[in-house]
Structure 1
Amino acid sequence: MNTIWADRDGVHDALSTEAEAMAWVRAIGPRLAPEHTAPGRQWSDDQRPGDIGKTAGELRVLRDALRRLAAESTRDPRQGWTSPVSRNAAVDAINQACATAPTWSELRWAEDSEPDRCLRSAEPPWGAAVSLLAERAVEMFTSDTRSQLRACLAPGCVLYFVRAHSRREWCSAGCGNRARVARHYQRHHPDNALA
């Protein structure tokens, strides 16, 4: 859901083009399902060009659904960054994404090692990325993790994060610093409040 971010140059979208979406999936794919990555092989090498556009579109739909539900879960007060998708449409989009690629567990147990559980899919890894992300979203929204989901309220930030410590208020140290600087400025220049 944090494929949209803001910096000094404005708001950016990591899924805005097919090439950017492919680069994003290649970057996060091994973290989603490390067992899909063979040594010396890119995570999404077997994707056909026509499928990339379809998958990039599915990723954008899923991202918008996740941002809508995250905004609702966190009672996000920021204006303009919440997805315009309705709650029911967001839930439907996540459920459809979960249903796109059947997956199953596989037991691996080499001679001199501990047993290991692997996730397998009938889909190529690139196509399975959408359903894997949707499954992780369902896990997050239906577990205790949802109560720790927060919108970063630092000036100019559009990200969400899972609060791992009770005192954490921002997605990063940089955002925390920006928020403190903004508060300091408002205290010392009450007539020129930052936007």
Structure 2
Amino acid sequence: MENELTWAWLEGYPSLDFANTVIRRGWTEYELVSSVDDLASWLGAAALPAPRPAEVTAEDLEAFLRLRDPALRLLRAAAGQGSRLEADVQTLNETLLGCPEVMVLGDEPGSVVSCAVGSPDAFTLLLARLAGAVRDVLAGPRSDLAFCDAPGCGQLFFQRRTNQAWCGPACGNRARVARHHTTSG
């Protein structure tokens, strides 16, 4: 029986949840968002930085993947897995510039809210905010972004300890079992 691929929410960070829509089974990577239905399912389950669009189209799926792939490469590069490509930076920046936002005063004293300039459609705003979440990870002060290299994972995560090598206990167990099989076999 084939393993069913499911959404993995490791961090609660939209940027990492966005990038982690590519996973591994064994050492093979799988695309989790390959149809409009997959995208709608992910949008329905994800903690999003903007309201979920009422429905999504094939064009939305293409736009999602056009942003996700460079975001994934940039985040992996920041975690020491690959190179930072200027074309990926340009794609992220173009998405941000295509839907600029300004901070305005909120309803409560001392609060601010982000408002899009103009009237972008819901999916364009969502992509811009996902790009902003990726930008914030890449430009922020955190240095604990890591890549889980356990067999069957390949997820990005934030380390909770300086020597943390895997995203969670299950991946640590899989990696130790795999290491044991290669050294004792």
Please tell me whether residue 25 in structure 1 is matched to residue 43 in structure 2: yes
- Aligned residues: CA RMSD: 2.5
Larger-gyration structure (1/2): 1
Distance 1:161 1:16 in 2: 23
Distance 2:160 2:123 in 1: 30
Contact kept? 1:5, 1:11, Cα under 8 Å:
yes
Relative to structure 1, the CA distance from residue 151 to residue 11 in structure 2 (aligned partners, 3 Å threshold; closer, same or farther) is: same
Tell me which residue corresponds to 1:73: 78
Contact kept? 1:25, 1:129, Cα under 8 Å:
no
Contact kept? 1:149, 1:160, Cα under 8 Å:
yes
Distance 2:114 2:38 in 1: 26
Task: Please report how far the alpha carbon of residue 11 of structure 1 lies from its aligned counterpart in structure 2 after TM superposition.
Answer: 4.1
Task: Please report how far the alpha carbon of residue 105 of structure 1 lies from its aligned counterpart in structure 2 after TM superposition.
Answer: 2.8
Unmatched 5+ stretches in structure 2: 1-18
Give the structure-2-normalised TM-score.
0.75
1:44 to 48, 53, 63: 53
Tell me which residue corresponds to 2:105: 107
Contact kept? 1:55, 1:130, Cα under 8 Å:
no
Give the structure-1-normalised TM-score.
0.72
Tell me which residue corresponds to 1:120: 115
1:14 to 18, 32, 56: 32
The 5 A counterparts of 1:107-186 are: 107-109=105-107, 115-121=110-116, 122-145=119-142, 147-186=143-182
Size of the aligned set, in residue pairs, is 164
133-142 vs 162-171, greater mean Cα deviation:
162-171
Moved over 6 A (4+): none
Amino acid at match of 1:117: V
Unmatched 5+ stretches in structure 1: 37-42, 77-81, 190-195
Identical aligned residues as a percent: 23
Tell me which residue corresponds to 1:4: 22
Contact kept? 2:166, 2:172, Cα under 8 Å:
yes
Identify the structure with bigger relative contact order (alpha carbons < 8 Å, sequence gap 6+): 2
Please tell me whether residue 60 in structure 1 is matched to residue 80 in structure 2: no
Relative to structure 1, the CA distance from residue 180 to residue 61 in structure 2 (aligned partners, 3 Å threshold; closer, same or farther) is: same
Amino acid at match of 1:174: A
